[in-house]
Amino acid sequence: MSVPAIRCDGLSRWYGEVQGLSGLSLTIEGGVVGLLGPNGSGKSTFMKLLTGLIRPSRGYVEVFGRRVGPDSHRLFSRIGYSPGEDVHFEGERAIDFLALLARFGGDAPAAAVRRGHQAMEKVGLPEKAEVRLNAMSKGMRQRVKVAQALLFEPELLLLDEPLNGMDPISRRATMRLVREHGERGGTVVFASHVLHEVEAVTSHVVLLHHGRLLAEGRLGEIRELVDRRPRRLRVDCDDPRLVAATLLDEELACGTRFEGDARLELETRTLAPLLARIEELGAAGRIHGLDLEDEGLEGIFDLLVGGDG
């Protein structure tokens, strides 16, 4: 009988008096799982416990049947992790950053460089390998983080808010990578506070709220609740007034607000068609970045916990 990819029992972590994760008991067999929750819900804490970056205050977690602990070096070679925060050496070229990590993983110098280039190919940035990280956009740096997580073709891929700052085309390509990893038999934990992002890669979701497991299962019922509420998103573009006029004329947005000369906030009750149109505008070079809010999701969490803040 095969062991689950992840199993934890009573997993808890406190930071002083602050609760990061509390009594989490969970089994993930494999495939792509969405780790969904508002900012501060415990998603990043869970990722760090899976990778051994922090230790539990109570309980334990197992990955592929082995308990995560100080002697788990072999186990960590089967895990790829893209953290939520930047981990780059800002003045380095992307290929040097990736090759350094490959060297830490045991590659000889030439093999490490080859592996770095292959990873940049996977995330669609082969032409940016020689670019310094501090000269890249936020979205490109996010893709480099995903590239380093994929360096050694891990069995378990942990992605913490990987789509933040990416343009619409990059988001779609990254989501495709996630789905393909699961289809090939790998396991992906995809953390996000945006329901639409999770729904684009999986129907299996784990909901965290204030460090506790709120629910686990299929997304259908949650989607019905969220769709009753208007959704908000922000786009970076060269001509926000023209973009706003286009989307209002096509009845894809029900409200707009301008933030300076290059950012536009949109409100919509038809999120999927709006995102499809934004992707078209992005391909035409008119939109350069996209951030989704999920205030509707916050309301759903309040509903599920009976209105407890």
* pLDDT at residue 239 greater than cutoff 50: yes
Listed ranges 47-61, 202-216, 250-264, 269-283; the one with the highest mean pLDDT: 47-61
List pLDDT tens digits, range 154-190. 999 999 999 988 888 899 999 999 999 999 999 999 9
Strands 18-28 and 156-160: unpaired
What is the torsion angle, in degrees rounded to the nearest 10, for the CA atoms of residue 166, residue 167, residue 173 and residue 179?
Answer: 50
Residue 214's pLDDT band (boundaries 50, 70, 90)?
confident
Both structure tokens of 178: 């996630």
Across the strands, what pairs with 160? 191
Which residues, in sequence order, are CB contacts of 268 under 8 Å at separation 6+?
230, 231, 232, 233, 252, 253, 254, 274
Residue 271 confidence (pLDDT): 83
Residue 227's pLDDT band (boundaries 50, 70, 90)?
low
What span, in angstroms and rounded, lies between the C-alpha atoms of 181 and 141?
21
List pLDDT tens digits, range 99-120. 999 999 999 999 999 999 999 9
Q: Burial letters for 185-217: b for 16+ Cβ neighbours within 10 Å, e otherwise?
A: ebbbbbbbbbbbbbbbbbebbbbbbbbbbbeee
* pLDDT at residue 86 greater than cutoff 90: no
Domains of the chain: 6-224 (3.40.50.300), 227-304 (3.30.70)
- What is the C-alpha end-to-end distance of the chain, expressed in Å? 42
Both structure tokens of 296: 């509707």
* Mean pLDDT along residues 117-138: 95
CA atoms within 13 A on the CB side of 86: 13
* pLDDT at residue 228 greater than cutoff 80: no
Work out the number of other CB atoms within 10 angstroms of the CB of residue 64: 16
What span, in angstroms and rounded, lies between the C-alpha atoms of 282 and 288?
6
Greatest extent of the chain over all pairs of C-alpha atoms, in Å: 60
Q: Which candidate, 142, 60, 127, 56, places its Cα nearest to that of 95? A: 127
Residue 309 confidence (pLDDT): 39
More confident residue, 88 or 270: 270
